Structure 1
Amino acid sequence: MEKEFFKDFDFKGFWSECSYSARDYIGDIPDDEMIDSVEKELGYKLPGSYIQLMKSQNGGLANKSIFPTNEANSWADDHVAITGIMGIGRERIYSLCGERGSKFMIDEWGYPAIGVYFADCPSAGHDMVLFDYSNCGKDGEPEIVHVDQENDFKKTFLAKDFETFVKNLKAEEEFETE
């Protein structure tokens, strides 16, 4: 039996329902064939929690887009911000194998080839969030790190896994009042 992720987590209001999200991020729900194909193309086994979430909505802009950090980066002193989470597929500009997907960030922007870039940031490519397979190998459970292109591709650890990352994203208003 597959592990169940996001138990007791309410996704109400998590995703933005704007037309930009629908046009550039949200793809068709991936079937097993698409998932296998994308994993082969990228060379990594995608995390189960990510696949489970993409089977409910395959990518999109997140209303909860702030992840608190203990160290400064080119975006802010105490957090990173994401724009959207890329879906599994090729058809959307911002999907894992899309026009501005993970391989594009590695091949065109020079990001380190140590995993799969799955979330873009408001800096328009100058920082990204990554499934980092450095410590677990291509089939393991990747850590979530922020990679800062503006700071020699400095890595900042964010979360031990994708589920923890998603559960700790905050809405801007919520973050500012803490």
Structure 2
Amino acid sequence: MAVFEDFDFGDFWSGSDYERKAYIGEALDDALVQSIERELGYKLPKSYIEFMSFQNGGIPKNSRHKVDVGTSWAEDHLAITGIYGIGRRPDYSLCGEVGSKFMMEEWGYPPIGVYFADTPSGGHDMLCLDFRNAGPDNEPPVVHVAQEDDFKITFVAPNFEKFIRGLRHKDSFPFEND
């Protein structure tokens, strides 16, 4: 059974011109996924691959996620700008110009996994698939990493699926920093 079999993709992505240019990569195939996994040094979670097979990266309409511990963004939530697709292009993809390796090598993010989503901070905090304690099912937790807070790591969701299903519209919470 597919992880996102009951998920409504029709209303998930923004559909903007910027999304198409900056985030959406080519259609996935096994060779591309394996090549990106080799380059990153991690086997991507099945849920992430499945999700990207519907649209390979983009800007979600629902861009907020509740957190139990405050982040550099707010006390009760975080915001994302986009989710990186599996590929080398466009720039906002896992191995793109400002992808996961770039964030570790150029910005000093800790090498704990795969950085897959950016935020409105312009690189000062990111979301990461944290492989430090990934279980046998290879579904690592999602964490928020704050560059300007000495790379503080905050738990967000137990896996990618729960992260995606936990995204809400910005009007869903009484946000402090809007």
TM-score clears 0.5? yes
1:96 maps to a residue whose letter is L
Quick one: distance in 2 between partners of 1:76 and 1:153? Answer: 16
Please give the residue correspondences for 1:66-81 in structure 2 after superposition, counting only pairs within 5 Å: 66-81=64-79
Structure 2 SS opposite 1:146:
strand
Please give the residue correspondences for 1:59-138 in structure 2 after superposition, counting only pairs within 5 Å: 59-136=57-134
- Measured after TM superposition, the shift of residue 176 of structure 1 is 3.6
Structure 2 SS opposite 1:92:
coil
Quick one: distance in 1 between partners of 2:76 and 2:27? Answer: 34
Q: Deviations over 1:105-138 (max 9, x none)?
A: 0000000001000000000000000000011279
Structure 2 SS opposite 1:109:
coil
Structure 2 SS opposite 1:91:
coil
Quick one: distance in 1 between partners of 2:75 and 2:139? Answer: 28
Structure 2 SS opposite 1:60:
coil
- Measured after TM superposition, the shift of residue 146 of structure 1 is 0.4
Quick one: distance in 2 between partners of 1:139 and 1:160? Answer: 12
Structure 1 SS opposite 2:106:
helix
Assess if the C-alpha contact under 8 Å between 1:93 and 1:101 holds in 2. Answer: yes
Specify the alignment match of 1:155 in structure 2: 153
Structure 1 unaligned segments of length 5 or more: list them: none
Specify the alignment match of 1:172 in structure 2: 170
Specify the alignment match of 1:57 in structure 2: 55
User: What's the TM-score once normalised by structure 2's chain length?
Assistant: 0.94
1:33 to 24, 31, 34: 31
Structure 1 SS opposite 2:122:
coil
- Measured after TM superposition, the shift of residue 10 of structure 1 is 1.8
- Measured after TM superposition, the shift of residue 18 of structure 1 is 0.8
Quick one: distance in 1 between partners of 2:106 and 2:20? Answer: 25
Q: Deviations over 1:50-92 (max 9, x none)?
A: 1001111000011111000111121111101000000000020
Structure 2 SS opposite 1:46:
coil
2:99 maps to a residue whose letter is G
Structure 1 SS opposite 2:54:
coil
Q: Which runs of 4+ in 1 moved over 6 A?
A: none
Quick one: distance in 2 between partners of 1:86 and 1:11? Answer: 16
- Measured after TM superposition, the shift of residue 173 of structure 1 is 1.4
Quick one: distance in 1 between partners of 2:164 and 2:72? Answer: 21
